Amino acid sequence: MSTSTLPHRFRGDLFPYQVLLGVTAGAIGGIVTVLGELRDALGFSSTGIGVMVAAGFTAAFIAQVTLARLADTGRSRMLATLGIALSATALLLMVFAESLELWVLSRIVLGFAGGLLLPAVRRAASVYEPSRAGENLGRMVVAETVGFICGPVLTAGLVWLGGIRAPFVVFAVAMMLFIPMATRLPPDRGPLDEIRRATSFDLLRIRRLQGALTMIGGYFIVVGAWEAVLPVMFADRGAGATATGLAFTLVALPIIFVGARAGRLADQVGPVRVAMSGLISVGCLSMTYGVLPGVISIVAVVVLAGFGDGIGYTAAQALVARSVSEHRQAAALGLMGAAEVAGAGIAALPSAWLYDNFGARLTWTVVGTTVLVFVLSGWLRLRGTAPVSGPDAAAPAEHP
């Protein structure tokens, strides 16, 4: 299919990046789908599942903190190719892994691979058309969400047809098939960073970026809890891989409809207000998961929270992009990815432990409250700051 015939949200040089991001998200979403059955089939504890999830987030954190800056120097294609190749390796390892240790190792490799791919993809979107950075980053969110939706559905079907190992075989083969696409990615359009830097940590001196990263890290606390607790919680309530896959599909659907629109709104009115409205709603709604009965009622509320996800998360990415100059986009977005996996990784194991020992009510109360504390703390840090890049960089400070 020619890119000229594609819908506007998938058109142009960004389309190959969107495809790779969608495939990677599909593989990760598929793994989430089988965590509950994996626990039962291999005799892992809920805490063991939490360790596996946290290990993947930690590896992604390390990759994005140390290597994301390389995308600013023109190495986006290299990072994307290596990320896809490592993803295939991790998924092949999952086909044969029996012990918790091997599952943790494979999740570490997969997390590190995602940490290489994401900054390269996000930089390409943020510098493609600076005046529409929020909208283009929103398109990446849409691509990621489409992958996350398709992954669980495909996984559920493959588990039904071929058992719990079948999805990992299929996803590994798919990743290997996409390696040639990664090697031929078009270069991004932004200015490059020509200074040799050891790390990206110098950007943490920017107060506006501090606030944005605090908000995003807080939001990903609930994401870590979702991955570590919800599949197990659904399994405890009688939902198998099929029901869990469908549930996660329904959760992600709203993001497709609001992702690019939220980014466009953030470009027009400023990302702070848009991000706050979405992320606060997510924190508040997550507190209800522990008191709702069964699975269907929880899914209904999480679908509602999906609109908040799409709005708040997309706008928060635009907020990060406009906190630094254009030639440091990958470094800043890598720090954003590190904040994401730090928030999720920090939450995964404690959430699993809380659920194991105290049940759903206390777990989701703690998770929701923590999200709100982080989001509000980030908002306080943002007050009085102004964008560094973007069409409104010379405008007065944006007051939430």
Domain ranges of the chain: 9-186+200-382
Q: What is the mean pLDDT of residues 245-271?
A: 77
pLDDT for residue 211: 92
Mean pLDDT of 244-261: 75
Residues 6+ apart with CB under 8 A from 13: 124, 128, 186, 189
pLDDT at 379 over 80: yes
Residue 397, pLDDT above cutoff 70: no
User: Higher confidence at residue 188 or residue 319?
Assistant: 319
pLDDT at res. 243: 67
- The winner for highest mean pLDDT among 54-63, 244-253, 354-363, 370-379 is 370-379
Q: What is the CATH number assigned to the segment(s) 9-186+200-382?
A: 1.20.1250.20
Per-residue pLDDT, averaged over 143-149, amounts to 79
Full DSSP string of 377-398:
HHHHHHTT---SSSTTTTSPPP
Per-residue pLDDT at 396:
39
Position with higher pLDDT, 158 vs 209: 209
C-alpha to C-alpha distances, 372 to 19, 204, 323, 326, nearest whole angstrom:
33, 22, 22, 30
Q: Give residue-wise pLDDT tens across range 276-305.
A: 989 999 999 989 988 888 778 888 888 888
CA–CA distance, 382 with 323 (Å, rounded to integer): 10
Q: Does residue 314 carry a pLDDT above 90?
A: no
Q: Find, among 189, 202, 196, 209, the residue nearest to 324 by Cα.
A: 209
pLDDT band at 240 (very low <50, low <70, confident <90, very high): low
Whole-number Å distance between alpha carbons of 140 and 190? 17
pLDDT attached to residue 183: 80
CA distance 355 to 363: 6
Mean pLDDT of the chain: 80
Q: What is the pTM of this model?
A: 0.73
Least confident of 113-117, 134-138, 176-180: 134-138
Query: What pLDDT is recorded for position 376?
Result: 93
Angle between helices 100-128 and 35-42 (to 10 degrees): 170
How many helices (H) and strands (E) would you count in the chain? 14, 0
- Contact at 8 Å (CB) between 229 and 352? yes
pLDDT at 4 over 50: no
pLDDT for residue 27 = 79
Mean pLDDT of 193-216: 83
* Spacing of C-alpha 299 from chain mean position: 19
What is the distance between the alpha carbons of residues 63 and 111, in angstroms, rounded to a whole number? 8
The predicted structure's pLDDT at residue 7: 44
Q: What is the pLDDT of residue 399?
A: 39
For residue 366, the model assigns a pLDDT of 93
Task: Give the integer Cα–Cα distance in Å for 25 and 10.
Answer: 17
